Structure 1
Amino acid sequence: MLALPWMFFLIFTISEMRNGDITEGYEIDRCLQFESTMIFVLEGEHARLRCRLCNGSSPIETSDLQTHGFTVSWFKYNAKRDHSELLNKGSRISIQGPLLGFWPATFNDTGRYFCSLFNGTHNVTGPNEILDVTPVSDGCYSEEIEYSRSGVIGASIELPCPHMEEYKNNIEDLKWYKDCQKNVHTGSSLFFGSLEKENAGHYTCILTIRHRGIQYNVTRTLKLKLEEPSVAPKLVYPHQEHIEVTLGERRIINCTVYAGPKSKRDVMLTWLFRKTYVTTCKGMEPVCKDSRRETTTENGIYIVRPLVFTQVTKEHLNQYFNCVLRVTSEQETMGYIFLQEKGKSSVQRTVKYLISIIVVLIALAMVCVHFNVQIALCFRDLTGRDETLGDSKEYDAYILLLKSDEILLNANEEQQFAFELLPAILEEKCGYRLCIFERDILPGEASAESILFYINKCRRLIIILSKDYVDDDFKSTYELVTGLHQVLVERQIKPILIEFKPINNTKSFPESLQLLLKSKRTVKWRGNKSEYKHSYFWKKLRYLMPAKGRRVQAGNQ
């Protein structure tokens, strides 16, 4: 009997609180209306509401009610009577702590519910919980109570079953169906790694639970809507267009942009001429831009901005008109048209192309001729080509210094060059092997047969010319004749002529030697300028020598 006054007092307090009156002596916390939650259920299925407290408005948590001596009461708002009615436990409605359960929910249960917590001095009310019970239709869901989600084709998405927080212990037992027919998944959520058009539809998640020996379903339905991925506006025309026109004609050129499946109102499309915006058409301007227009096709929406030439003048010829597409301040695309007078543009363009090609070819030829030695040596180094392999030759070059007995006494400079400097560079730095008569042939072997034998074992014949050549008393005459015979007649060895000192008169030389002097196998020594290892003299000499691989040269070094 003592409990009844407290109960009526509680009802009175909550009712007065809902009507806006605050009873003195009690602390009352309320939740705002926008914090309410709506739960959709099918008639005949289980429904469950939880007493929720407003964030930051209550000194307690619903999980700690007993500690603070709070009791939970549930109320349903009666719209006809404009007041709230206390709910009592029954065979169909259960109250377990902060939970209000319907076993099952009926159409008459539709309405607005709220909970109240009271401990004699402090009263807390939760937000409205709106329960919407819909009669069962022919399918497994009703479009009136579906939840909606949107996705983008090609993107990923995870679909959780809506408002299933109160069934966390059974969440992995959820069964998912698409359009009420196909069981597509079992689990708490449905995941798509890359959405496709056919993934759109209604997805129903059903949880089956038992209460007092009876099986109940909890059903939620999601409608998945798919959208095409957003497409950045793209300039279709012009790109880099050369257009032939006739003076005085009227011409309209459309700047066209593909805006995607949806209209892009924020796209700026305009024309520039000499870095200035072309004016909008108002009268008879020689050139102006017309207003933009949109065209819808099966592929999407196109935006067009016409450039109107009311009369093409000479001022417009050979000039750039730029079409500018700007989506944002940082995203800009530009194309242009270039007007050329009909009948002249193609000829002029062809002539320019031909002249450009000829100039380039001439320049390349000059470069190749001027740097042919450097290019050839670079190619050798890159490819590692070695033409000495397998030719059974022992020496790379035979050194022949043309000298007489008289010259021999005064030719210290020439002998030093032939017998010291040449070996120092070609043998020690470049890895070649030279055959020098005075150094490599023993005095007892100095016969005609020996000279021919050693010349045949060489790949090149290096002849060092002397300006004091006299054909009568040369000690090296036989060497020269033998070598020239091998070069011109037998063609078994290639010559290299070194003009150590300038030779003004070559008539004293044999005709065969004069013939070789006219070839491009002559290298001129230029004194101190040629002493440097990387000078042109040594590069050309190495160019005329047989190609040898780097490993061979490195080994010889």
Structure 2
Amino acid sequence: MFFLNCTDMFVFSECQRKHAVVRYRAISDQMFVLPCGVLLEDPTSIFNHSCHYDSWVEWFRQSSDGKIQKLPNHKTVNPAYCGNVLWFNPIRVQDSGTYTCMNREKTLCIDIFINVQTKETANCSINFRSDLRLIVENGGSIACPGKSCYSHFQTLPVKWYKNGKRVKSQKTRPGLTLEHDMISLQSAYNQDSAIYTCDYTLMDNNTRWNMRSIVKVNVTSKDSDNPPVVLDPVGEKNLEVDLGQTLELKCQVKFGFQSNASSLLWWYRQTNQKNELVQEKRFFPNKLGGETFIDNFRLEEVTEQDLYTIFVCLAQNSIGKSVGKFKLKRRRNTVLYLLTLCCAITTLLGLFVGSILAYQHWIEIVLLYRNYLAKDETVGDNKEFDAFVSYAKPDFLESDQTLLNEEQFAVEVLPQILENRYGYKLCLTERDILPGGAYTDDIVNAIRRSRRTVVILSPNYVNGPAMFELEAAVKTALEDTTIKLILIEFQFCQEPESLPRKVKKALKILPRITWKMSTSPTANKHFWKKLRFHMPVKRIKTAEERSRQTFLPSVA
């Protein structure tokens, strides 16, 4: 405090011409608050902490000798003012006296007289506390401290304020009621934590006193019955480090709420089952549901010895404990590691790409192998033909003469490719079976003398007499396992229900190659590769070898 200068004295004198007097009585060693009423714009509020008022209000105190002292605007002194209020924490007997708050903008003043009594002077032997703890979601009540000490005086009902705002029963806060000068809470919630002020009027020897008490309410959860939980590290955590570097180990722990106990976190160095305490810290979790803390342990320089040490983070409360561990490992050579990793990735990528290419070109690979490395399976098998070709003659009255039909495909296209280009020998009915014999016997004999039977499927085939050749081929293949069947789907056809069971089964399991009707020379490029894949393994003779083989007998 300091005395007024001439300017402040003039302003104070002007203010004193229009002022009111308010009387307060308080009990010592309790929190007390004085609002500057000249700044109150809301009648339902008694104080406002807004710093907007700091430059508007000034507080003065009149000493016993009549001198006026100006109170400093400093929040670390007692009393201190913030906003429009003067806080006493706590108020003492020597704080009794007259205080003046002045609104500098309007030159308005209010004189406030405070009479601070001890409990003995007030004849108050009841012990009361100005702080209250409520358990969240539990019921409770907030009583006006010290009011029972003045029960023999005439008093008016209590008015309650929460953080300076008038408390009333309302729909927005169900479960809160005002009864018997107390606030009753059916269930306490986190937002009920606040500073509550109770005001009432007391008449003592015809003197009207404003009585005020403050209760600081803190809503907390009930004490946790669980030990702390180490969130990081979980179990044992391996860290790669470089020797000589600075390292910070972080331990993240969640402690449950405990009102009257502190929680501890220790750091140990564990070597050969021996624990050396290197750091200790206390925590006070006061949030509902507990609180999470992070504590660091710093190694100024990682040494070789640290690589054989386990660093233990141990958290403990009154219920139990939990641990997390760090184990240090020498960091691998980054260049070598990256090189090895790149080689491994490249190898895997190469295998992957190679597998895709091999899958896509599997037939070409097999054909290449068969042409140069595989054994020729036609040598010494006593077969005359590489494949017997079975097809149906189309109905020329219904067929489109502009398109290739199955007979043209069988007698023109197949020999042109398989015989002229790849050296296979086909058995065609019109060309290689002499007329005049028994048809069925000639067909069966031709199939037996062939290594493969190529069936050209079309609607005319499955619905005509050519189905006999397929039945004979299936029966012969069951008797001679060296004979295999190849199905060429020349045109889509629906298989009749009247087919024998063996033939139906054969149509389902035998390899089937689809011919595409197209004028493009590359449309059926893959068709010929698949057909060659199912044909016998046979060394392909060059054009020069075939011409020489044809020329020699004519000379002879």
Task: Please report the TM-score for the alignment, with normalisation by the length of structure 1.
Answer: 0.35
